[in-house]
């Protein structure tokens, strides 16, 4: 998906409210250190946290994303620093975060990128840092369609790639916990989501996984 085009075409493509798992559990985040929002999109989660008094580093590969979030942060005087970057090349200077947002990131990356992310998280976090994760399970309606589609090639366990170098990665029940062995799940939910839509697109559902992890 070309997110630059999507964000230009549709204001609040993913909505204006922060994702529910963050809204329900953000107060557990220590305010003494910043929060890292990976794949900030149009900024709904970063803006929410900044308005609640958290310092946020927001990163995204989309130039349009960063322009939108930077403009809104400056307009409202919010403590958000923005960086046009993927997580693979961001933040090797030893900076620590009290929270890291992986909202909708894991479904879009390869198994190799997930291994890289695991290593980066251990550099960015310290004891009691929190990680907020949302992902798609193998109960997602798109999982079978992706398996059966000639446009997608399997590249790992429940992970697929198309000719545009896009990835779709799903997780079996309980598997998400195994990805983060250095963290304790404070909250863990897996089920079919309520119907929702992006912009004026079709209403659809996902096999959703939500977890709040705390570093041991």
Q: What is the pLDDT of residue 206?
A: 75
Query: Is the domain defined by 3-215 classed in CATH 3.40.50.10540?
Result: no
CA atoms of 46 and 57, how far apart (whole Å): 8
Query: If you search the block for the tokens 């085009």, which residue do you land on?
Result: 5
The 10s digit of each residue's pLDDT in 14-65 is 556 899 999 999 999 999 999 999 999 989 999 999 999 999 999 999 999 9
Residue 202 scores a pLDDT above 70: no
Residue ranges of the alpha helices (H) in the chain? 3-9, 20-25, 44-51, 63-76, 111-124, 141-148, 175-178
Strands of the sheet with 207-215, listed across from one edge: 80-84, 56-60, 35-38, 99-103, 130-136, 207-215, 183-192
Number of DSSP helices (H) and strands (E) in the chain, helices first = 7, 10
Confidence of residue 145 (pLDDT cuts 50, 70, 90): very high
The 10s digit of each residue's pLDDT in 65-110 is 999 999 999 999 999 999 999 999 998 778 999 999 999 999 999 9
Burial class, 193, CB count within 10 angstroms (exposed 0-12 / middle 13-18 / buried 19+): middle
- 65, 7 contact by CB (below 8 A): yes
- 119, 90 contact by CB (below 8 A): no
- Average pLDDT (140-147) is 92
């Amino acid at each position: 998906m070309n997110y630059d085009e999507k964000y230009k075409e549709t204001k609040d493509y993913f909505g204006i409210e922060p994702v529910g798992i963050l809204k329900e559990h953000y107060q557990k985040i220590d305010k003494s250190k910043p929060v890292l929002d990976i794949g900030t999109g149009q900024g709904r989660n970063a803006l929410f946290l900044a308005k609640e008094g958290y310092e946020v580093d927001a990163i995204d590969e989309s130039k349009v994303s960063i322009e939108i979030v930077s403009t809104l942060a400056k307009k409202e005087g919010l403590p958000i620093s923005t960086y046009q970057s993927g997580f693979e090349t961001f933040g090797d200077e030893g900076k620590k975060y009290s929270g890291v947002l992986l909202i909708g990131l894991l479904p879009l990356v390869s198994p190799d990128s997930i291994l890289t992310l695991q290593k980066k998280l251990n550099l960015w976090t310290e004891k009691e840092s929190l990680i907020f994760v949302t992902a798609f399970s193998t109960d997602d309606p798109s999982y079978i369609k992706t398996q059966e589609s000639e446009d997608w090639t399997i590249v790992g366990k429940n992970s697929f790639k198309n000719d545009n170098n896009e990835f779709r990665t799903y997780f079996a029940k309980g598997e998400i916990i195994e990805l983060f062995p250095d963290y304790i799940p404070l909250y863990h939910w897996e089920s079919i989501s309520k119907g929702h839509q992006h912009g004026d697109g079709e209403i659809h559902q996902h096999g959703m996984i939500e977890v709040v992890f705390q570093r041991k």
